[in-house]
Amino acid sequence: MSWIVETEDKRIFHAGDLNNWYAKFLSDDNPDQERYSFEMAETFNPIAHEKQFLGELKDIRKVADSFDVVMFPIDGRVGNGYTLGGRQFIERFPINIRLTDRNF
Query: For 17-75, what is each residue's pLDDT tens digit?
Result: 999 988 888 877 777 888 888 877 889 888 999 999 999 999 999 999 999 999 999 88
pLDDT at 78 over 70: yes
* pLDDT above 60: residue 83: yes
Residue 99's alpha-carbon distances to 7, 8, 102, 103, in angstroms, are 17, 16, 8, 6
Residue 20: exposure state from Cβ atoms within 10 A (0-12, 13-18, ≥19): buried
Q: What is the residue-wise DSSP string for 57-99?
A: HHHHHHH-S-BSEEE----GGGGGGTTHHHHHHHHHS-B----
Q: Are 82 and 23 in contact (CB under 8 A)?
A: yes
- The model's pLDDT over 2-13, given as tens digits with 9 standing for 90+, comes to 999 999 989 999
pTM for the full model?
A: 0.82
Position 104 confidence tier, pLDDT thresholds 50, 70, 90: very low
